Structure 1
Amino acid sequence: MKWQGRRGSSNVEDRRGMGGKAVIGGGLGVGGIIIYLIITLLGGNPGDILDSITTTTTSTQTSGEYQPSEQEQELAKFVSVVLADTEDVWSEVFRQKGLTYENPKLVLYTDSVQSACGTSSSAVGPFYCPGDHKLYIDLSFYDELQQRFQAPGDFAMAYVIAHEVGHHVQTLLGTTDKYASRMQQDNAYQVRFELQADYLAGVWAHYAQDKNLLEAGDIDEALNAASAVGDDTLQEKARGYAVPETFTHGTSEQRKTWFNKGFESGTLEGGDTFAAGSL
């Protein structure tokens, strides 16, 4: 992806080195949302948790005495540029629909972090919290993508960020609230919710290509990453077999398919995974 020398987002909070107080397990993208849904369905107000969050300023500087490596700083710049690109794309898409896009914040952290959805370990992977409209990512996940998931390349990481921004789009459009209770009752709705975020990541990639920001192999990197984090692939690696009724994000093939649909379409209209008969 052509990113060096381009505008980075100002909507980045750097909490690296600050840490959190507790650990809550989860999975790529779904951790914060599920925590949020539990709080909401129990009658609580996720916003109340915001009172306990340490105040941070929008900055690209590191906090405290934490000293990131040169590679990590380069990656921080990269994700900032990707976030800026998503801001440009979704602002235009919303404008075309007569809507106003609200930019999310991206929080960089190490080890654990507190959000309006609770306190989470970096083990949950990157996630989006509807309660505070923020994306959370420990940049060490980039190494995990390459080594554990065998999904190298900068656009693999860009796909991950675009997927989480896709959850923000779902929140702004009311999809998250609409299907919150159903996702708690039926994993099939969680799968459709996540596949829609993959579709929206593809829509962003469509516009990135129109702007001549993509390089040869970028889409293959995104598709490889989507495949690597499919439920069937992850479960087969972990236990030697897959249990479809426990899927929350979709199979590798489904994730690739819906990302590619978004990439080819470039529209919101083609991404209603909840109305699709077959995934």
Structure 2
Amino acid sequence: MILRKASARAALLLVGAAAVGGAAQAETQLERGEYLVRVVAACGNCHTPFGPTGPDMSQELAGRLVEKNPAFEAWAPNITPDPETGVGAWSDAELKRAIREGIRPDGSLIGPPMPFVFYRDLGDADLDAIVAFLRTLPAVKSETPASVYNFPLPPDYGPPVESVTAPARGPTAEYGEYLAGPVAHCMECHSKFGPAGPMLSTHLGSGGNEFHGPWGISITANLTPHADGIAGRSDEELIDMIRLGIRDGKPMLPPMGYPYYAKMTDEDAQAIVAYLRTLPPLPLPE
């Protein structure tokens, strides 16, 4: 059932107020990790299998087929603490390296669509929180096939990451850039893909990528302040798109993780919108 826009917004205001109120209190590491994994980073959008009515939370983060196309067949692996089919036998350092650098404990490289270009800039404290929360999940025994790539993967995604400090939290463009990049990796899907992945230097946020699924074909929106993008949109409209998946009163299509973003705090949603306003205005790619 689709909520009416006004009713849905009212519900989100209550969620946002509760979240902001909770943030004003001392936030534990596990609370931060849960918020990142289950809301802003939306890890389940790739790693949790889908059931008839949406994500199958009895199999939360147990892995699934993410995408199959001529270039690759990508499986998001089981990242629950199961020691045989998940990451239960990995050390915290090994799991952090896999998330941020794309390297498994055996030295092999994880392939796309895991967005390592962005995850390399995850702040140390947030990465620690994500790993700490993943350790608390029920272990699910679910072995996923290995991904298949019809092109050579690079030797690595860059030099080892030593330490990253995230910007201060708040409804600022600087923090919004951190959320839209390293955490939620919005710019991955919303920047036109080229032979080597999203073209961040020339098409940052301009959209135009096609995603095929049971819903049909969805095309990523232009997020830049261009006439083809968000120039004529109010902040409230943009936040409705992010958290409700509603545009001009109509539901938007997957694969954007609206069920996860619905619980995003007001402050974080405002920060993302503030950042989008700073992007160079670019037309929708032809």
TM-score (norm: length of structure 2) = 0.26
Higher-Rg member (1/2) = 2
TM-score (norm: length of structure 1) = 0.27
